[in-house]
Amino acid sequence: MIKARHVANMAVSGLALFTLAGCIATTAATTGAAPKATIPAETAGPWPVTRLHYTPNGNFGPSGQYLPGADGFNLADVDNKIQLDGLPAGVLGLVWLGDCGGATASFRSTVDAFAGDRKLFGFYVKDEPQPKNCPAANLLAEDNWIHAHVPGAKTFIILENLGHETAPSFTGTYTPADSGLDLVGVDPYSVRSELSAPTYWQIAAYVTLVEAHGWPLSSIVPVYQTFGGTSFADDSNGYWVLPTVPQERQMLADWAAVDPHPVFDYAYSWGPQEGDTALSQSPALQAVFKEKNARPPGP
């Protein structure tokens, strides 16, 4: 249902690598080496702690059973009210819209059908939109309609990196003011085939850049890499690779250092999409997330 990762294959000009609190070196960007400040995997500290855990694609079995629930995921990827109302107790729904046409009659009708539903968490409005194709004014109109007609529902998109994997940039992307959105996902995927080591430094880099663009930390949703395969090409003559257990633990630890208590967290992806391998096919990674998701959210 939710699309394959959209890669921005664009020329990068005038983009310079930057240093974050003295711990992200230029060599890390070019060699893939993790910065010195990265927490060693074998001594990884706390992981992000939140009440809600989401993983999209292929959430339902042939009999309608919610499959990721066995690993502690309790925010389901749904696209209709029947799926939403059929969720087990304790599981909420994030409704996929994928719409950037503004508050059209069709949009209004779709959204209004969920008003008052107690299983609704919010709406996944769009996945990695770009302002050139999806005007901020359209997102704002959709956001305003949702908040006016489905009180309490959260609005969510993933922000697209408009730069390069080695020189990320969010210049020109959406802001809280021009889009009205409640939550934005940030998806630095560190494990790639062309690298000698994962670019863990991207996690802190992305968060810092998105905050500098006006998004408060409280609005940032961490997106964890749980997929890989040759059909998912990156922009550096390689492709994303399914993380190993130590690599996944490292990324979770690095996320905890910069976004320890998100509103929800997001593992991409539960189900495969284009010949890749995903979380549902990796018992080893499922065990990691089952452990993480079982941690109490705290006060």
Confidence of residue 24 (pLDDT cuts 50, 70, 90): very low
Query: Is residue 69 included in any domain, yes or no?
Result: yes
Query: Is residue 9 included in any domain, yes or no?
Result: no
Query: Is residue 73 included in any domain, yes or no?
Result: yes
**105-153 tens-digit pLDDT:** 999 999 999 999 999 999 999 999 999 999 999 999 999 999 999 999 9
For residue 221, the domain's CATH number is 3.20.20.80
Of 28-32, 166-170, 215-219, 281-285, where does mean pLDDT reach its minimum?
Answer: 28-32
Distance of CA 135 to the CA centre of its chain: 21
Number of independent structural domains in the chain: 1
Query: Is residue 1 included in any domain, yes or no?
Result: no
Q: What is the mean pLDDT of residues 5-10?
A: 33
Q: What is the pLDDT of residue 298?
A: 61
Q: What is the identity of the amino acid at 109? A: S
Q: What is the pLDDT of residue 32?
A: 41
Confidence of residue 51 (pLDDT cuts 50, 70, 90): very high
Confidence of residue 235 (pLDDT cuts 50, 70, 90): confident
Higher pLDDT, 22 or 57: 57
Distance of CA 21 to the CA centre of its chain: 24
Query: Is residue 267 included in any domain, yes or no?
Result: yes
Query: Is residue 33 included in any domain, yes or no?
Result: no
Q: What is the mean pLDDT of residues 216-224?
A: 98
Q: Does residue 36 register a pLDDT over 50?
A: no
Q: By C-alpha distance, which of 158, 157, 152 is closest to 125?
A: 157
Is residue 207 a contact partner of residue 171, using CB atoms and an 8 Å limit?
no
**Proportion of the chain above pLDDT 70, given as a percent:** 84
For CA atoms 40, 210, 216, 150, the dihedral sign is negative
Q: Does residue 285 register a pLDDT over 60?
A: yes
Higher pLDDT, 217 or 22: 217
Q: What is the mean pLDDT of residues 163-173?
A: 93
Question: 102: domain range?
Answer: 48-293
The per-residue pLDDT of the chain, averaged, comes to 87
Phi, psi of 115 (to 5 degrees): -60, 130
Q: What is the pLDDT of residue 8?
A: 31
Q: What is the pLDDT of residue 45?
A: 54
Query: Is residue 147 included in any domain, yes or no?
Result: yes
Query: Is residue 80 included in any domain, yes or no?
Result: yes
Higher pLDDT, 215 or 19: 215
